Chains A and B, each alone.
Chain A
Amino acid sequence: MKKIILIIITIGILGAVGAYLYVFKFAAGHEDPLKSKDKVYINAPELYKYFTEHEDSANALYLSKVISVTGQITSLELNENRYTIYLDSKDSSGAISCEMDTTENATVRHMTEGTNVNIVGFCNGINIDVSLDRCKLEGVILKN
């Protein structure tokens, strides 16, 4: 009898652990970059310059990291219901490309070129543009 109870308890514990892993690890959505406690704060021209001049070091420092980047919007692009905001790198060869999370669409659609913003997202590296994805708008910088 004791053996049966022990087996039931073991199965119960394993089931609970399995359910926890499924709910919090496997089925959980992507991490929210806004809630990250390890953000790297940098402005768009500095981020771009670092990637173009020291790509290996920049990859080691920034790949998959949550970056909070400040910059001026040079253009916006809508592709299959996803907005990409391009921030001015002060270098004609590329920009900071921020692919926005679709939950930001309602806000992003009102953004205009020339606006200064803070965008937070995950860094994927440089491929002409420095690429950030799953981005969220952290703030709009108002200037007098």
Chain B
Amino acid sequence: MKKLSVLLFATVLTLTVNAQKYQTKTGNIKFYSKTDKETIKAENRKVVSAIDSTTGALEFSLLMKAFDFTNDVMEQHFNESYAESDKFPKATFKGAISDRSKVNFSKDGTYKVNITGKLTIKDVTKDITTTATIVVKGGKITATSQIKIKPKDYNFKIPAIAEKSIAEELTVDIAMTYTKK
């Protein structure tokens, strides 16, 4: 029994030592909407994200109110009406690098990977599948990706009068620079 406990402790210790977490609190997510009537851009520079290089697990979390819009009025409408940021202050993504074995986190290089996971905005969770580029350089990890999301899928309440100003599909650019935790 004692032997088993020691073995179990050693296994847990090994797993803990091998687990490498990379983290950022200053990840960048931008989204764009372009219609004939209006171009909207917003940027969030305080995205919290973490990658576990052992399992490939990946997650991020952001504050909706931290989106900085080029147009103040649109920012106000976004927070008060469309995203209801007081009621739903955070958006999250939980997923993984589905082909984790492609990446050597201890060797400098550029790796193209697939990401799958669940994106939650306004308490609505949708599956997301996308590709990403991971660059390992000097102990730092940079990850970039682009996804498209439809505001209507996440219950954004856009009044008819503003529908022509907001694209049906938003382009979301994701850029994270992680350091070892």
Contact = CB atoms under 8 A, between A and B. Distances in A.
Interface of A: 25-26, 28-30, 59-60, 63-64, 77, 79-80, 82, 84, 97, 99, 122-129, 131, 133
Contacts of B45: 79-80, 82, 99
Interface residues of B, number: 19
B46 A97 contact: yes
B140 interface: no
A59 B46 contact: no
B79 interface: yes
Contacts of A79: 26, 45
A84 B45 CA distance: 11
A128 B68 CA distance: 19
A128 B25 contact: yes
A59 B79 contact: no
Interface stretch (B6-14, B82-90, B121-129): B82-90
Interface string B61-77: 11101101001110000
B86 A131 contact: no
B86 A63 contact: yes
A140 B123 CA distance: 41
A49 B26 CA distance: 22
Contacts of A129: 25, 46
A127 B86 contact: no
A63 B80 CA distance: 12
Given A59-B86, A79-B26, A79-B45, A127 B63 contact: yes
Contacts of B166: none
A103 to B, nearest CB: 15
B86 A84 contact: no
Interface of A, helix, strand, loop or mixed by DSSP: strand
Max chain A C-beta neighbours (<10 A), residue from B48, B63, B72, B79:
B63
A125 B46 contact: no
A79 B24 CA distance: 13
Nearest to A55: B89
Nearest to B43: A80
A137 to B, nearest CB: 19
Contact of A63 (B25, B65, B72): B65
A26 B63 CA distance: 24
Given A59-B86, A79-B45, A127-B90, A28 B72 contact: yes
Max chain B C-beta neighbours (<10 A), residue from A59, A97, A122, A127:
A127
B73 A63 contact: no
Given A79-B26, A82-B45, A26 B89 contact: no
11 contacts: A26-B73, A29-B72, A59-B89, A64-B86, A80-B45, A97-B25, A99-B45, A99-B46, A127-B25, A128-B25, A128-B48
B62 A127 contact: yes
Contacts of B79: 64
Contacts of B90: 125, 127
Nearest to B23: A128
Given A63-B89, A84-B26, A125-B90, A131 B72 contact: no
